[in-house]
Structure 1
Amino acid sequence: MIYLDNAATTMVKPDCVIKADEYALKNLCANAGRGSHAGAIKAASIVYEARKAVKSLTVCDDVIFTFNCTDALNTVLFGTAKRGGHVVTTVYEHNSTLRPLAELNKRMGVEYTAVRPNMHGIIDPADVERAIRPNTYLIAVNHASNVTGAVAPVTQIGNIARRHGVLYLVDGAQSVGYLDVDMRAIGCNYLCFSPHKGLHGTQGIGCLCVRGNPPLKPFRFGGTGSMSHTLDQPSDIPEGFECGTLPVHSAYALIAAVNHYKKLPLSVKRNLAECGDRMRAELAKIKGVKIYGKYNTLPNIVCFNIDGMNAAAVGDILSDQYDTAVRCGLHCAPLCHKYLGTLNTGAVRASLSYHNNSDEVTFFVNAVREIAK
């Protein structure tokens, strides 16, 4: 099978990640921070090393481990919410951001403004600034769209957030592992991602990176291994936000994934960019194929439609007749599809990883050409 659904989760994992996960499942199954025996201490040390790895990758001060990126985003959105407040976001956001905001509107009267891209499909920082109100307390921006791959000007937006004294959340689900993400340079307070995408890590763990000392109230409640004498949830970071058993095997695999990413040769990264750029260019030449996103996009995400065909039908043909996996539909980003005009048809997304190659791109382009005929 040719796997082109890497923006959802990468299928091919580096050997070091697989070995780390398998080793931890066999040898490190104790609860981290829940005992003083050797197994618990070893598990806690793995979690500590995983935090260090993520800190070195993102230049953050603290790391809260969550279930996934969605859980991390929810933790920030609910943990910073202000009754009757206002949030600035964009139409490119995933439902992991939009649905919590919709729920906060029902519960607490939180309003939000979704900034639309400019004529080039890029979020204009000036539009973000114009959307700020006196009661705005948070800016939440998707670093790279999971639909079109459009990259937001996160550093410029960070300058705006700092100038207005507004908290700043960056959704790094699609960017971490494909772009260098430095929280200090970006100027964000919170960064959320999952290692099972661009870092080629395993599923089962998410990362909420925090820089500075921004406000955050607990989103979930339960056992933390600390302050067990009180029924009040601790609010210290990270312990107060990591209820229940942490996936130590996923944390151990995360360490391997970060180390692997840091050692990736420039040639591997260049090959991914070349494959993505060639796929986009070749698909654009096919009569009846419409490409979404043109400027300042991640090369590994290519979104398109074929005239007169529903995206789901294209995906089914690619799977059944060409043994090729892509993502079709609305990609959990309804405002983006409303902006693109694809709410009724959905769109086809082909997303590459470091393990795809030029031959697979050629095969895929020829398949789309045949379907379009």
Structure 2
Amino acid sequence: MIYFDNAATTAVKPAGVGQAVAKVLTSGQYGNPGRDASKYSLNSGLLVQQTREKVARLFHIPSSDNVMFTNNATDSLNVVLKGLLHAGDHVITTDYEHNSVLRPLAQLKQQGVQVSYLPFAPETGQLQIKQLPQMLTPATKAVVCTHASNVTGYVLPLAAISQFCQEQGLWLIVDAAQTAGFLDIDVQQQGIDALCFTGHKSLYGPQGIGGICLKTDLPVTPLKSGGTGVDSFNPAMPAELPTRLEAGTLNVPGIAGLGAGIDYLTQTGLQPLRKHVLTLVDQLLTGLAQYPEITIYTPKAAMKTGAVAFNVGTINSAEVGQWLWDTAQIATRTGAHCAPRVLIGYGVKQQGIVRVSLSSFNTAEQVATFLTAIAQLIAAYRQER
């Protein structure tokens, strides 16, 4: 079997990730962090703090207190968007967004928040960044955007977006689900006010762990409230970070796995891992480009992640994905990818899009096998026509 759905989740993890999770669950030495003075609680508290510091170093967060753990990027985005935006506010987003941004904003629209969507040019895939000033209103509070499209792998021009936000005094909220652990991210240098990430993709952690990184202590109202282990007689959540945004028992096994995933990245180096993936992407794109029947949606003249999006003629994307699995045991992703405005922008709402997404654990031999399978599919498609 060949796994080419890493933009959804990395199925193959570094060995240390599973070992770290297993240690928490099987050693009998880890309790509830921050709840008492026992060794069990202290072990968990130390592990949580060490991982906070690893996240802070990875993304250049000024203080580890500005790192909050959540379930995933979707959870993080809900906390930040619903905690910052209120009736009468205006926010700008893009047509490249995942539903983890679009759906919370749709809920906020029902509560009186105004939303504008920055389009992309379907001919090039490039975001129409020059239209940003036209969308500005006196009520604009923030720009929220994905760092890279989960469908096409296109990396958005974050530097230009950040400059616009700084010039206009807007918050920049970034969905880094596709880029955390793949691209170098410096919250301070890039002017990111709130970075929302998940652990189970290019950070190689387990599912169910993610986080929020704040450049400064933004006035984020807690989405959830509950136990924190401190200030128990206060009916409100504590005011300080990270406690304010971390209600309830933390996912200590997930945090352990996330920490081990970051260890793998820092020890191996993001640059060599990224170079390996992008070499495979070039191999894949070159192979697909030889067929006139194939439409490639991943922009050529832009930074990319490990995702490549395409269609074969007029074949429904689900049929292509099923054929690849049935014929060659290759796992891909098809359909709308939880990013409806991307499909609408490219005019393929009914057909969907086929996505291949690679990780550092994939190989050139696997890409060659995939391209052989595509050649067979194209041959069959030509016969039918």
TM-score, scaled to structure 1 = 0.96
* Residues 208-259 of structure 1, C-alpha deviations (whole Å, 9 max, x = no match): 1110232211011111112211222223211121111111111112111112
Backbone CA RMSD of aligned residues = 1.4
- Residue 185 of structure 1 aligns to a residue whose secondary structure is coil
- Residue 263 of structure 1 aligns to a residue whose secondary structure is helix
**Alignment partner for residue 373 of structure 2, among 344, 353, 367?**
367
State whether residues 235 and 241 of structure 1, in contact with CA within 8 Å, keep that contact through their aligned partners in structure 2: no
**Alignment partner for residue 87 of structure 1, among 82, 86, 91?**
91
User: Equivalents in 1 of 2:378, 2:30: separation in Å?
Assistant: 51
Counterpart in 1 of 2:251?
247
* Residues 124-162 of structure 1, C-alpha deviations (whole Å, 9 max, x = no match): 433223312110111001100001111111122111111
User: Equivalents in 2 of 1:135, 1:124: separation in Å?
Assistant: 22
Counterpart in 1 of 2:7?
7
State whether residues 84 and 111 of structure 1, in contact with CA within 8 Å, keep that contact through their aligned partners in structure 2: yes
Counterpart in 2 of 1:273?
278
Q: Are residues 1:114 and 2:117 paired? A: yes
Counterpart in 1 of 2:383?
none
Q: Are residues 1:49 and 2:50 paired? A: yes
- Residue 329 of structure 1 aligns to a residue whose secondary structure is coil
- Residue 186 of structure 1 aligns to a residue whose secondary structure is coil
The aligned amino acid for 2:212 is: L
The aligned amino acid for 2:319 is: A
The aligned amino acid for 2:285 is: R
State whether residues 175 and 195 of structure 2, in contact with CA within 8 Å, keep that contact through their aligned partners in structure 1: yes
* Residues 16-58 of structure 1, C-alpha deviations (whole Å, 9 max, x = no match): 1121111122234411122221101110111111100000000
Counterpart in 1 of 2:156?
152
The aligned amino acid for 1:304 is: F
The aligned amino acid for 2:135 is: A
State whether residues 305 and 348 of structure 1, in contact with CA within 8 Å, keep that contact through their aligned partners in structure 2: yes
Q: Are residues 1:18 and 2:22 paired? A: no
Q: Offset at 1:317?
A: 1.1
Identity of aligned residues (%): 36
**Alignment partner for residue 331 of structure 1, among 333, 337, 340?**
337
1:51-70 aligned within 5 A: 51-61=52-62, 62-70=66-74
**Alignment partner for residue 297 of structure 2, among 285, 289, 292?**
292
Counterpart in 1 of 2:169?
165
User: Equivalents in 2 of 1:218, 1:239: separation in Å?
Assistant: 10
State whether residues 218 and 235 of structure 1, in contact with CA within 8 Å, keep that contact through their aligned partners in structure 2: no
The aligned amino acid for 2:10 is: T
The aligned amino acid for 1:298 is: K
User: Equivalents in 2 of 1:90, 1:123: separation in Å?
Assistant: 8
Q: Offset at 1:308?
A: 2.0
Aligned pair in 2 of structure 1 residues 217, 267: CA closer, same or farther (>3 Å)? Answer: closer
**Alignment partner for residue 341 of structure 1, among 344, 347, 351?**
347
Which is worse superposed, 336-345 or 23-32? 23-32
State whether residues 217 and 235 of structure 1, in contact with CA within 8 Å, keep that contact through their aligned partners in structure 2: no
Q: Offset at 1:286?
A: 1.8
Counterpart in 1 of 2:39?
38
Q: Offset at 1:372?
A: 2.3
Gapped regions of structure 1 (runs ≥ 5)? none
Q: Are residues 1:135 and 2:139 paired? A: yes
State whether residues 217 and 241 of structure 2, in contact with CA within 8 Å, keep that contact through their aligned partners in structure 1: no
- Residue 87 of structure 2 aligns to a residue whose secondary structure is coil
- Residue 213 of structure 2 aligns to a residue whose secondary structure is strand
Which is worse superposed, 118-127 or 33-42? 118-127
1:251-266 aligned within 5 A: 251-264=255-268, 266=271
Q: Offset at 1:120?
A: 2.6
* Number of aligned residues: 372
- Residue 321 of structure 2 aligns to a residue whose secondary structure is helix
Gapped regions of structure 2 (runs ≥ 5)? 380-385
User: Equivalents in 1 of 2:294, 2:32: separation in Å?
Assistant: 52
**Alignment partner for residue 215 of structure 1, among 214, 219, 232?**
219
Which is worse superposed, 284-293 or 42-51? 284-293
- Residue 189 of structure 2 aligns to a residue whose secondary structure is helix
